[in-house]
Structure 1
Amino acid sequence: MVIEVFVPEDYDPDSTYPLLLLNDGEDMFGGGSWGMDRVLQRLISDQKIKPVIAAAIYNQGQRMNWYIPYEDRWITTNWGPYTPSASGYAQDIFDYVIPYMDEHFSVDTSEVAIMGASLGGLISTWMGLKFPEKIKYSAGLSGSLWVADYSIFSEVEGSYDSGQKFWFDIGTTEWNYYVPLYTELDKHGVTPGENSFYYEVPNAAHVPSDWLQRIHLPLLAFFSPKTNPVPESLEVVLECIPSQSTPGRHFRRLNPIITLTNGVEYSLAHTASYSVLSGDAELGSEGSFRNNPQTEIEILVEYDSFSEAVDIPVGWCP
C-alpha cells in the first residue's frame, strides 16, 4: 500500500495522537482536490480539534475492488467488472498501515478513525461496523450505502459500547436523500447525537466541493477537545426534494438540524417528534410529510427543550 502522512506543525514524539485514515489518498494532500493537510492544520491551530496524525491511503486504481464489500449486478452492468475485496483491504490496513504508523509515529492505536466519500464512505462505514475493536470512529460522506440493496444495514450487529462514533451524511440533490442507517444503529444502542451523527445536507451534491464544506463536522464530532457537548440551537429546514427517478415527483421533508456546543451540526430525523398544529397532513417518523399543496398547514417539531412551528404555505412544493 502507498500512503502519505500528515503530522501537525507542533508534533511532539513524546505525546500520542489519534490516527486518522483517509481513503482515496491520491486526492487528500498537497495539490489534491481535498487539501486535507491544510484543513487539519487549520482546525488544529484554531483549537477546534485535538492534534491528529493522518495517513492518506492511495487506492492505486483498485477503488471498486477495495471499497465495495458486496456483489452488485447494477454496478457490474453500468461501471464494469470488479472483485469485492473489502475484507482484504481492511486486513492490509490492520496488518501493515496501522503497524507502520505505530512504529514510525507516536499514534494511539486505540483511537483510530477512517474517513472517505462515496465508495470511500461505504468502506469507511463498513469497517467501522465490522471491526469496532479496531476502528473507533468512521465517517462516510455521501457514502454509497445503496450498494447491493443496502446490504450494509445487515452489518449493524456488533457491540458498539466502547466509545465508537459513526458519521454519515447525504446531500439532498443526490440520488438518495435520506439514510436510515441512523435508525438501525439506534436499535443497537448507538445513541444519536452522541455516538452516531446523520446530516442531511440541504442542496448539497455528490461532489468534492460540497464534501469540503462539511468535512470539519465529523472531525469535530470525533476529535473536539470539548467534552460532553450539548445542543445549543435548532433550525428546521423545509425541503422540497425532486425525485431522481420519477420526473415531476417531489418529496416534502422537514429537516431539523441541531448544533452542539462543540460546533457539530447534525439532522435529528427520527429522533425529533412531529405533530400537526393546523391543517391536514400525513407525517412520517423521520420528518417526511404528505399534504394537499392547495391547503396551508403548520407542523410542530420538538426535540429536548427545543421546538419550532413550521408553516407550509398554499402552493408550496406542488
Structure 2
Amino acid sequence: MKKIVLLFLITTFSFAQSKIESHQIVDKEKFAGIIHRIDSFPTKFIVPRTVDIWLPSNYAEDKKYSVLYMQDGQMLFDSSSTWNKQEWMVDEVVSKLNAENKIEDMIVVAIWNIKNLRHGDLFPKKPLLQLSKDKIEFIYVEAQKLNYNLKIEDINSDNYLKFIVKELKPYIDKKYSVYTDAKHTAIMGSSMGGLISMYAICEYPKVFGKAACLSTHWVGFRDFENNPIPESFFAYMEKNLPNPKDHKIYFDYGTETLDASYLKYEYRIDEVLQSKGYTTENYKNLKFEGENHSEASWQKRINIPIEFMFGK
C-alpha cells in the first residue's frame, strides 16, 4: 500500500543562478518511494519542463545510487493524471526489484515531454542529416501526408541531449548521493523515447553506459512506402555505437498496433549490433508476441531491461 505526505523544499543550484523549486512527495497512495518534482527545470537548450526525481523509500545519503534517466516522465508513476489512464509503474517495479535484491540501489530521473515539441525533441538529428537532400525532401512530403509538419529546424534532439548531459545530470550529481560515472548511468524510453535513448548512448558514450529502447520508433513518423528513415538510423548506429566492452543496450518490440510496423526492421538491429561486437551478454533485442504500443504493454516488461542494466 502506498500513502502520502506533501512537503515543499527549495534548493539552490549554481546553473544560471537559478532557484529550483521542488515538491517532495512522500508515501502517497499513488507512489512507492519519494518523488521530488521540479515544475520547470531551468535550461538554455530547450523549453523548460517538469522533471521528477524518484527515490526509493529507504534512500539514504550514506550510500551511493545508480541513476536511470527516463523519457516521457508524466507517464511513469501516476495513471490518474495521464492522458490514457495508463502508467509504467516504475516506482512499484523498481521497489519490488529492490526488495527482492535483484538490482543495484538506484534512482530514476523522469523528464516530462511537452506534447507539441515531443517529436522534434526526440527525433535523432544526425541520422537524418546524413541523407541526401532529395531523400530529406521526400521524407517531409510523406510526413506532411501523415499530418506531420516537422522541418529540419524543428528537430532539437541535439539540444535535448545537451540539456540532460550539461544541465540536468550535473544537478542530479550534486544534489543526490549518486555514482556519476557511465557504468552507473543509464537512459531509457519507448517509441520516440527509444530513439533518443539510442541516440544518447551513441552521442555520449562516456556519460551513458547503458540504454534501454522499448518499441523503438524506427519509422520516424508513421510508416510509408520506400521510407529511408530506418536505414538512416541503422547506418548511424554502425558508425557510432559505443564499445560493447563497457556498454549495454536493450531493444524490444511487440507485434500489435504501431509496433507491427517495426517487425520488418528488427533483424537489422541484430545485424548491426553483432557486427559491432555485441553479444547476448551486452545486448538484447526481444520480441513480445501480442503486445501493443502502449504504457500497459511496456509496464508488463520493464523489469526485464531494468534487471538487464542494473542487475546484481
Q: Would the TM-score normalized by the shorter structure come out above 0.5?
A: yes
Point out 4+ residue stretches in structure 1 off by more than 3 angstroms. 74-77
Aligned pair partner of 1:202 in 285, 289, 292 = 289
SS in 2 for 1:139: strand
Paired positions, count: 224
- Is residue 24 of structure 1 aligned with residue 69 of structure 2? no
Are the aligned partners of 1:30 and 1:37 in contact in 2 as well (CA < 8 Å)? no
Q: What TM-score does the superposition give when structure 1 sets the normalisation length?
A: 0.67
Are the aligned partners of 1:114 and 1:139 in contact in 2 as well (CA < 8 Å)? yes
Aligned pair partner of 1:185 in 269, 273, 284 = 273
Shift of 1:146: 2.6
Amino acid at match of 1:95: K
Are the aligned partners of 1:182 and 1:196 in contact in 2 as well (CA < 8 Å)? no
Shift of 1:162: 4.6
Aligned pair partner of 1:7 in 28, 31, 55 = 55
SS in 2 for 1:113: strand
The Cα offsets for residues 256-280 of structure 1, whole Å up to 9 and x where unpaired, read as xxxxxxxxxxxxxxxxxxxxxxxxx
Amino acid at match of 1:68: F
Shift of 1:54: 0.6
The Cα offsets for residues 229-271 of structure 1, whole Å up to 9 and x where unpaired, read as xxxxxxxxxxxxxxxxxxxxxxxxxxxxxxxxxxxxxxxxxxx
SS in 2 for 1:176: helix
The Cα offsets for residues 153-199 of structure 1, whole Å up to 9 and x where unpaired, read as 122223414521000011122222251212201111122x1111010
2-side partners of 1:36 and 1:127: how far apart? Answer: 21
**Root-mean-square deviation (Å):** 1.6
2-side partners of 1:89 and 1:75: how far apart? Answer: 22
Match of 1:150 in 2: 231
The Cα offsets for residues 195-250 of structure 1, whole Å up to 9 and x where unpaired, read as 1101011111112111111111100101111xxxxxxxxxxxxxxxxxxxxxxxxx
SS in 1 for 2:261: coil
1:212-291 matched pairs, under 5 angstroms: 212-225=299-312
Query: Once structures 1 and 2 are overlaid, which stretch shifts more, 104-113 or 23-32?
Result: 23-32
Shift of 1:60: 2.1
2-side partners of 1:137 and 1:97: how far apart? Answer: 18
Shift of 1:126: 1.6
Match of 1:81 in 2: 149
Q: What TM-score does the superposition give when structure 2 sets the normalisation length?
A: 0.68
Gap change, CA 1:90 and 1:213, over 3 Å in 2? same
Amino acid at match of 1:16: K
Are the aligned partners of 2:244 and 2:276 in contact in 1 as well (CA < 8 Å)? no
Are the aligned partners of 2:198 and 2:211 in contact in 1 as well (CA < 8 Å)? yes
2-side partners of 1:50 and 1:9: how far apart? Answer: 15
1-side partners of 2:70 and 2:147: how far apart? Answer: 23
Match of 1:65 in 2: 120
Aligned pair partner of 1:127 in 200, 219, 234 = 200
The Cα offsets for residues 40-78 of structure 1, whole Å up to 9 and x where unpaired, read as 111111212122111000112321111012454233431
Aligned pair partner of 1:97 in 153, 168, 183 = 168
Are the aligned partners of 2:89 and 2:299 in contact in 1 as well (CA < 8 Å)? no
Match of 1:239 in 2: none
Are the aligned partners of 2:217 and 2:262 in contact in 1 as well (CA < 8 Å)? no
The Cα offsets for residues 135-167 of structure 1, whole Å up to 9 and x where unpaired, read as 111111101123223311122223414521000
2-side partners of 1:99 and 1:59: how far apart? Answer: 20
Match of 2:35 in 1: none
Aligned pair partner of 1:49 in 103, 117, 126 = 103
Shift of 1:107: 1.4
Amino acid at match of 1:18: S
2-side partners of 1:198 and 1:112: how far apart? Answer: 20
1-side partners of 2:95 and 2:284: how far apart? Answer: 23
SS in 2 for 1:108: coil
2-side partners of 1:53 and 1:16: how far apart? Answer: 10
Amino acid at match of 1:90: L
2-side partners of 1:23 and 1:79: how far apart? Answer: 23
SS in 1 for 2:188: strand
2-side partners of 1:168 and 1:125: how far apart? Answer: 9
